[in-house]
Amino acid sequence: MPELVFFSGTMDCGKSTLALQIAHNRDARGLQGVIFTRDDRAGEGKLSSRLGLVTDAVEAPRDMDLYAYLVTQLSQGGKADYVIVDEAQFLAPEQIDQLARIVDDLSLDVFAFGITTDFRTKLFPGSQRLIELADRLEQLQVEALCWCGARATHNARTVGGEMVVEGEQVVVGDVNRPAEEIGYEVLCRRHHRRRMTSASARAGALSPDVLPVSHA
């Protein structure tokens, strides 16, 4: 039976890499997929992973009807055996309903990949709707790590290396950006609650208040 499957995890845990692997495995068996994405780090109409892999995709703006797009493709002689959606958290809730309709009415597997919560630990509307509708929820097993070495469970937005908890829900960025830019970092819950990023931890370690005192 076709399924709507939601693969979720923090940033930097290999979601896009797995999406590309699923596409590769099916393409190797002669199957043809349609890949949707939104605001990928590699630019419009791309699905990329941090390992350097990239493929073409269909950019899915907020007002795009994903079900209608598939129906049009199929009615014009196109082929689609499965659907992959990366950055699914950015989709509107009604677009998630369209994905469910693709599964139910067109009998296609849909594999959606995304993070569940934003930098404020609030559910993305698209992810919330996926949790409500998906036939299956899969937590990625590749664990991203906080700077302290613990399992990372939260996504933090940083500006100048400092964690922020206010602002627009969607601001495109990535991990490993220069400190002066808007970026993201994955943290364990304890350090997310304390707003302690790797940069602030380094600054604390170098503070004169905690440096050893020489009595020489």
Q: Is 10 annotated as a binding residue?
A: yes
Give the strands of the sheet with 136-139, arranged side by side: 58-59, 33-37, 82-85, 109-114, 4-8, 136-139
Tokens of 190: 């304890």
Q: Please check whether residue 170 is in contact with residue 44, taking contact to mean a CB–CB distance below 8 angstroms.
A: no
CA 86 remoteness from chain centre: 7
Q: Is 87 annotated as a binding residue?
A: yes
State the burial class of residue 2 (Cβ atoms within 10 Å of its Cβ: 0-12, 13-18, 19+). middle
3-state helix vs strand vs coil in the chain, percent to 5: 30, 25, 45
Q: Is 204 annotated as a binding residue?
A: no
Q: Is 39 annotated as a binding residue?
A: no
Q: Is 15 annotated as a binding residue?
A: yes
Q: Please check whether residue 9 is in contact with residue 144, taking contact to mean a CB–CB distance below 8 angstroms.
A: yes
For 191, the 3-state DSSP assignment is helix
Q: Are strands 4-8 and 54-56 parallel, antiparallel or unpaired?
A: unpaired
Q: Is 86 annotated as a binding residue?
A: yes
Q: Is 89 annotated as a binding residue?
A: yes
- Respond yes or no: is residue 87 known to be catalytic: yes
Q: Are strands 182-187 and 54-56 parallel, antiparallel or unpaired?
A: unpaired
For 104, the 3-state DSSP assignment is helix
| Catalytic residue from among 3, 44, 59, 87 | 87
Q: Is 43 annotated as a binding residue?
A: no
Q: Is 122 annotated as a binding residue?
A: no
Q: Is 163 annotated as a binding residue?
A: no
Binding residues for ATP, as ranges, are 9-16, 86-89
Give catalytic residue positions: 87
Binding residues, as ranges, are 9-16, 86-89
